[in-house]
Amino acid sequence: DAGITQSPRHKVTETGTPVTLRCHQTENHRYMYWYRQDPGHGLRLIHYSYGVKDTDKGEVSDGYSVSRSKTEDFLLTLESATSSQTSVYFCAISEGNSGRDEQYFGPGTRLTVT
Amino acid sequence: AQKVTQAQTEISVVEKEDVTLDCVYETRDTTYYLFWYKQPPSGELVFLIRRNSFDEQNEISGRYSWNFQKSTSSFNFTITASQVVDSAVYFCALSEAWTGANSKLTFGKGITLSVRP
């Protein structure tokens, strides 16, 4: 199994509060991704990183920011949480990004915004 | 833009039945990759298979087999003699080959498979 952990695994927070989710990998992979999973939508890419301090937006990036100061850590921040951000968040990693590289996923974080 | 359609949302079968999960994709690229992932009730996502657009050979791995047909833009997944442990959500995904920008993985909405004893 790929060494990917996410913390916290579960979180309940109130609307308007900032929230940070952490993804940690021990594989030394260059690429890291944040997805959200919602019923009827599958997985949608929020942001991704192609190296330390190198990040880019995915298809549903509004309301989210990311940072990557070390190869092993990729943080996702909800600047002011809203109920629409209630979701399961998955981190993924891949060795390359040529299209053929499979992504390996962390266990997920279930976030509830009340 | 790339797109993956999994028209079946839920499938229920009895153990030992064969079941096929459909995946239809759209892409403008001639080089691309297709993937299947499994998400069991425990929630983690497990990589099952990758196929590139130049390899249309069917793949078999134990009870699992995959049929890739470029003519119909389909990459279907068949489970033979299904078991209760096969109960999961199955995602098909598409990635276009690197073109100088970072490649992205596009997922279908998933198919929930329930295998009843």
Mutate to test the interface with B, among A9, A29, A36, A37 (most CBs of B within 10 A): A37
Mean of the per-residue pLDDT values of chain B: 92
- Interface contact flag, B107 A97, Cβ < 8 Å: no
Segment B35-52, tens digit of pLDDT: 999 999 999 999 999 998
Residue B41 Rama label (left phi>0; alpha psi -120 to 50; beta): alpha
Between A97 and B117, the more confident residue is B117
Q: Do A100 and B91 touch (CB under 8 A)?
A: no
Residue B98 confidence (pLDDT): 60
Write out chain B residues lying below 8 Å of A107, CB-based.
43-44
CB A8 within 8 A of CB A106: no
Phi then psi for residue A8, to 5 deg, are -75, 175
Is a pLDDT exceeding 60 seen at residue B99? Answer: no
Query: What integer pLDDT is reported at residue B29 of this predicted model?
Result: 87
Three-state SS sequence of chain B: CCEEECCCCEEEEECCCCEEECCEEECCCCCEEEEEEEECCCCCCEEEEEEECCCCCCEEECCEEEEEEHHHCEEEEEECCCCHHHCEEEEEEEEECCCCCCCCEEECCCEEEEEEC
Mean pLDDT of B24-31: 92
The single-letter DSSP state of residue B72 is G
* pLDDT tens figures, A31-82: 999 999 998 888 999 999 999 999 999 989 999 999 999 999 999 999 999 9
**Among A42, A18, A20, A22, residue whose Cα is nearest residue A32:** A22
Q: Which residues of chain A approach chain B closer than 8 Å at the C-beta?
A: 31, 33, 40-45, 48, 50, 56, 58, 88, 90, 92, 97-100, 102-108
CA distance A69 to A65: 13
Give the model's pLDDT for residue B100: 52
Q: Which residues of chain A have a CB within 8 Å of the CB of B46?
A: 105
